[in-house]
Structure 1
Amino acid sequence: MPLPFLTADRDLETHDAESAALPHDEPDHWRRPYRPGPWRVGAAAVLLLLASFVLLSAMITAMAGSLPGAAACSVVAALMIALALRLLRVGVWVSAQGLRQVNLLRTTTEPWSAIATVRTLQQPVRWLGLPRTVQGQALIVERRQGEPLRALLTDHNGDFLSRPEAFERAADVLEAWEAEYRH
């Protein structure tokens, strides 16, 4: 089920690729220029399913009369829901202000003026974020000063594994944002 409200892909169906290199209505709003991949959505769905079972156990525990146990189960379920929602937000977000890399525990934002280049490289990349590396493509952001950001996107991460066309489209859109807004 496509979720067009999560991404900038909602305009791809109405415009052809050449007339709308930057599919956006309001460039000042942060948006993800690609859809979350099936691995990421599936992991979040499993976490939400487990959270529902934990909430059910909290309700059963509360009915049995153990309020501290029910509270502990509720807290665990709330943490699982928060983790699932954060997992869905992980990725690259862009706006006219800059580029934002959202990770599970931290977020890095770079203004377009601080970015030297955005380009795709062939290099060893992590497979689904695990320590195992395979040869693949990575979208790299080089800063004007300081160290480059870690790879923004790879063709083997949770959003693009077995979807090379989606990776190419996302890389092209991110490079187009960089070309339009970098000063």
Structure 2
Amino acid sequence: MVYTVAPGNIPTIPIYRCLGGTDRFESRSATCEGGTQQRLLGYSVAYGTLAGYGLGGFDHMSTADGPAVAFVAEGAQGLLALTASEGTTSLMSCQDGADTFVSTDAACEGRKVLGSLGRIWTTAPASANRPIYQCVNGGDRFVSLDAACGGLPVDRELGYVLDDVPAVTAVFA
């Protein structure tokens, strides 16, 4: 759902129509990832789906923006907040050699910072939620909903994601 005017009681993000060469695309960034912003399309609820992807048993990654080439979808892991709100922290996308992983450390534990995916809750929020875990399989770190990481070593609980967008009726000023 896209609102033409941002509601006052729901976190939203602007969505822009952009031009890159001859291609039109939508973006959450006013800079259009280096393209040309054509206009504001409206406002979307500020939640994104964190999803897991795998690369033939070699690497796993979780992102809210779609996977790298050749990665195959493994499933939705929950909703991230796309705006700062009380009780949340950034979930960073990081890289260590061939391993793409997530971290709540803004500096990616000294590895390459790819950017913020969104925000997770540091404690269980009132809305329906689930914890996510950082698991390790050799040099591959990945996100799991399974507290036991499928029998692999558990690095740590990262925080909480939502099961669904909170049911709130939009109010306009």
TM range (shorter): under 0.3
Identify the structure with the greater helix proportion.
Answer: 1
Whichever of the two has the greater Rg, that structure is 1
TM-score, L = length of structure 2: 0.26
